[in-house]
Structure 1
Amino acid sequence: MADGYHHGNLRAAVLERAAEVIEREGPYSFSLRSLAADLGVSHTAPRHHFGSREGVLNAIAVEGFQVLAERLRANRRAGGDFLEAGVEYVRFAVEHPAHFQVMFAPALLTEDDAELEAARSAAFAELTTGVDSVADDVLAAEDRPSAVVAGWSIVHGIATLALTGNLDASGVRDLFDDTDLLAVTRRSAGLLLGRRAPRE
C-alpha cells in the first residue's frame, strides 16, 4: 500500500496491508504493531477492529470464503457447470493467494468463530451444489458426494502446486499444448467427469 494510510476505512486498509505481507512473506510475518506502523496509525488502532493478530487472520479467511462463494454463485447462475466451478476455484486462488493460504490453515484461525464458519459453509454449499450439473449418465446420485471430494481435491491441488511454484518446477505444465493454468485445470479436472476439452 503506497504512502501508508491517511483516512477512511482503517479495517479495510489493515486487511489489504496484511494480505500484501502474507503474499510476499507468509502469514507469520506481521504483527498488529507492524501493520499499524506501515499504515501510519497508532499501534492500538488495529486492535480496536480486530482484537489480535489472530483476529486479522480470521477476517482475511472470512473475506476469502465470501469472495469464493460469490464467484461460485456467479458461475452457477451463469449456467456454469461443476467443472467451471473448479476453474473458478483455481482462478480465485491465483488472484487471492494470501487469502487462499490463510483460509485452509486451521492452525492460524479461531475455528469456533461464527462468522468464519458461516462464510466457509456458504462457499462449500456452492461447491457442493455445483455437482448437480453433472449428467446422470456420467455420475450416479450415490457417487456425487465422492465427486465433490475428488473434484475439490483436484482443483485445490492444482492451485496449491501453482502457488508454491511446484507445477512449473516439475515441468508438468509444459506437457500441455496450452500451458495456461485454467486450461490445464479444465483438462485435468475434466477427466474426472468424462469431459474432455476439444483438441486445438
Structure 2
Amino acid sequence: MPRTLLSMNDRPYHHGDLRRAVLVAALDVIATDGPAGLSLRDLARRAGVSHAAPAHHFRDRTGLLTAIAAEGHGLLAAALTEATDLRDAGARYVRFAREHPAHFQVMFSPELLRADDLELTTARALSAAALTDAVTTGAPAGDGPDARLARIAVWSLAHGFATLLLGHNLDGLLDGEDPEAVLRALPMMLTPPA
C-alpha cells in the first residue's frame, strides 16, 4: 500500500510541547489575521488536540495573548541589551518589530492582556530596563528630566517608525532603503547643526 502524506492538521499531536505548539500557531494566526482572528478552538484543531487542551496551559484567549506579550517583552529585552548606543537601540527595536510582528502587535495592546500577570509584568520590567539602559548610554547624564524625556523621545521615534513600517505606511517613502539605516539617520535630521 503506498504511503500518503498527511496535512499538518491531520496529524495527531505527539511532540510533547503543546504550550509551544499553541504559541507558534497563535503567532502565525496573529501575523496574518491579527489578534481578532485568534480562537483557542481553532488552535486546538491545528495542533490536533481536543478543543479544551490549550486551556490547560493558557486558561483562555486572554491568557494566551498575555503569554505572547510576555514572550515578546523578553525577546525585546534581549535585543536591546546588545545595543551599543542610542541609534543602535532604535535600529534593534525596529528589527525586533520586523522579525516578531505578531509579538509586537500584541505587546502594545493592553486591552487584550492581563495587566497583573506576573510573567508579563516581569518581562515588561526587563524590556523597560533594557530600553532605559540603551537610552541612558546616549542621553544626557543623570536621571533628571532630560534623561526621562530622551527615553520617551527615543522610544516614541522607534515605536512610531516600527508601527508605520509594519502597517506598510512607509512603502512608498523608503525607496528600497534599509529601514534600520533610515531609523539610524532620523535623529541626525531632527537635531539642528550646532
**Normalised TM-score (structure 2):** 0.87
CA drift at 1:82: 1.6
What pairs up with 1:108-127 in 2 under 5 angstroms? 108-127=112-131
Tell me, yes or no, if the aligned pair for 1:151 and 1:192 is still in contact at 8 Å. no
Aligned Cα root-mean-square deviation (Å): 2.2
Amino acid at match of 1:173: L
Which among 65, 68, 75 is matched to residue 76 of structure 2? Answer: 68
20, 33, 37: which is aligned to 1:29?
37
How many angstroms apart in 2 are the aligned matches of 1:67 and 1:152?
A: 16
Offset of residue 192 of structure 1: 5.1
Q: Percent identity?
A: 50
In structure 1, runs of 5+ residues without a counterpart are: 196-200
Number of corresponding residues: 184
Counterpart residue type for residue 101 of structure 1: Q
Q: Of residues 10, 13, 16 in structure 1, which corresponds to 2:21? A: 13
Report the TM-score when normalising by structure 1: 0.85
Larger radius of gyration: 2
Query: What is the aligned partner in structure 1 of residue 132 from structure 2?
Result: 128
The CA deviation at 1:115 is 1.4
- Whether 2:146 is the aligned partner of 1:146: answer no
SS in 2 for 1:41: coil
Kindly provide the amino acid, as one letter, of the partner of residue 150 in structure 2: A
The within-5 A match list for 1:1-200 is 3-4=8-9, 5-75=13-83, 80-134=84-138, 136=140, 142-168=145-171, 171-174=172-175, 179-191=177-189
Residue-by-residue CA offset, 1:23-68 (whole Å, 9 max, x unaligned): 0001011211110001111111101000001111000000000000
Q: Matched residues in 1 for 2:36 and 2:117: separation?
A: 20
